[in-house]
Structure 1
C-alpha cells in the first residue's frame, strides 16, 4: 500500500460549489476509484489560502495503469468537467499532473 498526498488551489468563488459536489460524489466515480485500488481518499480545504490537500491509499500494483482506467472512464471525465473549473493547478506541478503530487516525508502508525 502506498500513501499519496497531492495539493491544488481552489478558486475562492467556487468553494461552496466544490463542497456541495463532494458532499454527494457520484456513485459511479466512487466505484471507479475503488476498482482502481484507491482507498481512504480524503480531501481537506485550507482557507484563506484556498488550498485543497488530497490524501489516498493506493493498494494496487500498477499505479499508471489504474490511473489510466480512471481517466478513460466517461463518468469520471464528466465529473472532472464539473470539478476542474473550481480548481487552480500549481504552475510548479509536473508534466501530466493536475493535482501536484507531494513527497511523503513522515508517517506514524
Structure 2
C-alpha cells in the first residue's frame, strides 16, 4: 500500500463550484478510482487561503498503469473539464505535476 499526499490552490471565485461538484461526485468517476485501486481518498479545503490537500491510498500493483487508466477514461476526462478550471497549481510543484506531491514524514495507524 502506498499513501499519497498532494496540494493545489483553488481559484477564489470557484470555491463554491468545487464544493458543489464534490458534494455529488459522479458514480462513474468513483467507480474508476475504485477499479484503479484508490482507497481512502479525501480532499480537504483550507480557507481563506484556498488550498486543497488531498490524501489517498494506492492498493494496486502497477501504479503507472492504473493512473493511465484513470487519465484515459472518457467520463473522468469530462469530470476534469469541470474541476481543472477550479484549480490553481502551486508554482513550486515539480515539472509535470498538476497537484504538488508531498513526502510522508509521519503516520500513525
Classify the TM-score, shorter chain: over 0.9
Whether 1:100 and 2:103 are equivalent positions in the alignment is no
Question: Could you tell me how far 1:75 is from its partner in structure 2?
Answer: 0.4
Report the RMSD for the aligned CA atoms in angstroms. 0.7
Normalised by the length of structure 2, the TM-score is: 0.97
- Which residue is equivalent to 2:39? 39
Unaligned stretches of 5+ residues in structure 2:
none
- Cα distance in 1 for residues equivalent to 2:75 and 2:98: 18
- Which residue is equivalent to 1:9? 9
Equivalent residues, number? 109
- Which residue is equivalent to 1:29? 29
Deviation string 1:34-80 (CA, Å, 9 cap, x unpaired) is 01100010000001111000000100111111100000000000000
Q: Runs of at least 4 residues of structure 1 off by over 4 A? A: none
- Which residue is equivalent to 2:70? 70
- Which residue is equivalent to 1:18? 18
Whether 1:83 and 2:83 are equivalent positions in the alignment is yes
- Cα distance in 2 for residues equivalent to 1:63 and 1:93: 20
Normalised by the length of structure 1, the TM-score is: 0.97
- Cα distance in 2 for residues equivalent to 1:79 and 1:18: 11
